[in-house]
């Protein structure tokens, strides 16, 4: 039985990308392969009901030096007690260097541990991650390695949250919602209200969002009839099941879009300043991803001076609700 430790800390989307390695390891080395993760505690809850994952080592404070970090010491101690066959690192930050070298593993791959050649044409972060572990799996397994999540049973989620057999999820918020500056990934509140009204006339709409986002969602209310409000009501494993059972999901460039692509639920992603071919929801041969963008000459501009100078956020603001709704109509889900 192979013992594997994977290091991936960061936001929810980052961890979803990394799940492409899980099934690959199981297919290559057997279903009894033991897989542990080092991850940030909040994101790692996506594995709470995932039978493929053996253990999560929480690493909340990544920048604390090794000699002061009880979390890092626990990881090293566990690896010395039961050494790993393979350590796979997906992190580039120097704050991980001492930890990576101290972990007891027979083979170590990934940034800071091994030389990896990523083809120049590879742009999406999922594919960068796939190429990181390419050397330890067969070509057949590599070609079929994609992000994949397992959460609460989707049929049980329909019953638990009293959802219909056919519904569309609208996920209006994103992780940048509470920042005290322009949220460049956000869509206009009026546009969200218009879209919710249009879709709810055709099919049940389920609104999702994180806890403690009441002020944002107040701006979208009152909701029309045929809307189920699940904002802040679904633990992450349940949310995975709710998304998996949906006919489709509409969101900006945020974690829920990545979850949808990883459970093969049709995704309608509103993209402006961020590069969809790098960090957008991942298109595999098993799912459907619709990138809705104005494709302006100035896009993508994320984390550039051009974005900082843009006060109107026109690449998101000027996406109309009609444009989104028509894309959904063409996909035949409304």
Q: 52, 162 in Cβ contact below 8 A?
A: no
Q: What is the pLDDT of residue 212?
A: 85
Tell which wins on pLDDT, 179 or 71. Answer: 71
Structure token pair of residue 202 = 């055709």
Q: Which of 111, 93, 128 is nearest to 275 (CA)?
A: 128
Going across the sheet that includes 167-171, the strands are 227-229, 204-207, 167-171, 248-252, 267-270, 289-292
pLDDT band at 45 (very low <50, low <70, confident <90, very high): very high
pLDDT at 234 over 60: yes
The CA distance from 108 to 325, in Å, is 47
Q: Residue 103: exposed, middle, or buried by beta-carbon count in 10 A (0-12, 13-18, 19+)?
A: buried
Structure token pair of residue 331 = 């996909």
pLDDT at 177 over 90: no
pLDDT band at 248 (very low <50, low <70, confident <90, very high): very high
CATH superfamily label, 3-143: Glycogen Phosphorylase B; (3.40.50.2000)
pLDDT at 79 over 70: yes
Structure token pair of residue 81 = 């007690």
Do 154-330 and 3-143 fall under one CATH topology? yes
Using CA atoms, how far residue 203 sits from 27, 64, 199, in Å, is 39, 49, 6
Q: What is the pLDDT of residue 312?
A: 84
Structure token pair of residue 75 = 């990881």
Residue ranges of alpha helices (H) inside the chain are 12-18, 20-29, 41-44, 70-81, 97-102, 125-132, 139-143, 154-160, 189-200, 214-218, 236-244, 255-262, 276-279, 305-309, 314-317, 321-330
pLDDT band at 311 (very low <50, low <70, confident <90, very high): confident
pLDDT band at 228 (very low <50, low <70, confident <90, very high): very high
The CA distance from 21 to 122, in Å, is 17
pLDDT band at 84 (very low <50, low <70, confident <90, very high): very high
Query: What three-state secondary structure class fits 4?
Result: strand
Q: What angle do CA 190, 303, 38 make, to 5 degrees?
A: 100
Structure token pair of residue 134 = 């390419």
The CA distance from 19 to 39, in Å, is 12
pLDDT at 217 over 90: yes
pLDDT band at 277 (very low <50, low <70, confident <90, very high): very high
Tell me: domain 154-330, CATH 3.40.50.2000, correct? yes
Mean pLDDT, residues 226-242 taken together: 97
**Domains in the chain: boundaries:** 3-143, 154-330
Q: Which of 109, 232, 222 is nearest to 117 (CA)?
A: 109
Q: What is the pLDDT of residue 211?
A: 87
pLDDT band at 316 (very low <50, low <70, confident <90, very high): very high
What is the distance in angstroms between the CA of the first residue and the CA of the last residue of the chain? 48
The CA distance from 39 to 56, in Å, is 7
Query: What three-state secondary structure class fits 239?
Result: helix
Mean pLDDT, residues 177-201 taken together: 87
Q: What is the pLDDT of residue 215?
A: 87
pLDDT at 179 over 70: no
Q: Which of 304, 280, 279, 307 is nearest to 291 (CA)?
A: 280
pLDDT at 302 over 90: no
What digits encode the pLDDT tens for the residues 117-175? 889 999 999 999 999 999 999 999 999 999 999 999 999 999 999 999 999 999 999 76
Q: Which residues pair with 249 in a beta bridge?
A: 169, 267
Hey, CA dihedral for 244, 221, 183, 312, is it positive or negative? positive
Q: Residue 267: exposed, middle, or buried by beta-carbon count in 10 A (0-12, 13-18, 19+)?
A: buried
Q: What is the pLDDT of residue 150?
A: 98
């Amino acid at each position: 039985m192979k013992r594997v430790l994977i290091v991936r800390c960061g936001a929810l989307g980052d961890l979803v990308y990394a799940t492409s390695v899980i099934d690959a390891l199981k297919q290559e080395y057997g279903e009894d392969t033991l897989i542990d993760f080092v991850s940030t505690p909040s994101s790692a809850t996506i594995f709470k009901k995932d039978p493929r994952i053996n253990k999560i080592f929480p690493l909340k404070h990544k920048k604390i030096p090794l000699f002061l970090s009880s979390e890092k010491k626990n990881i090293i101690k566990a690896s010395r007690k039961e050494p790993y066959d393979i350590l796979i690192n997906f992190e580039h930050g120097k704050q991980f260097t001492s930890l990576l070298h101290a972990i007891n593993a027979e083979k170590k791959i990934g940034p800071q541990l091994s030389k990896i050649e990523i083809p120049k044409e590879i742009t999406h972060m999922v594919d960068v991650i796939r190429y990181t572990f390419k050397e330890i799996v067969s070509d057949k397994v590599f070609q079929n390695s994609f992000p994949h999540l397992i959460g609460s049973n989707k049929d049980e989620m329909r019953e638990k949250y009293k959802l219909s057999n056919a519904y569309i999820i609208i996920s209006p918020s994103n992780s940048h919602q509470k920042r005290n500056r322009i949220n460049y990934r956000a869509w206009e509140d009026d546009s969200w209200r218009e879209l919710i009204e249009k879709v709810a006339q055709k099919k049940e709409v389920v609104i999702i969002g994180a806890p403690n986002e009441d002020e944002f969602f107040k701006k979208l209310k009152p909701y029309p009839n045929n809307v189920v409000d699940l904002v802040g009501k679904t633990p992450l494993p349940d949310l995975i099941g709710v998304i998996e059972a949906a006919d489709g999901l509409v969101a900006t460039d945020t974690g829920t879009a990545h979850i949808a692509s990883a459970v093969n639920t049709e995704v309608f992603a509103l993209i402006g300043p961020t590069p969809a071919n790098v960090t957008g929801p991942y298109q595999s041969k098993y799912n459907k991803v619709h990138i809705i963008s104005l494709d302006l000459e100035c896009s993508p501009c994320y984390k550039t001076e051009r974005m900082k100078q843009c006060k109107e956020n026109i690449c998101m603001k000027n996406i109309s609700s009609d444009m989104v709704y028509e894309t959904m109509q063409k996909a035949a889900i409304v």
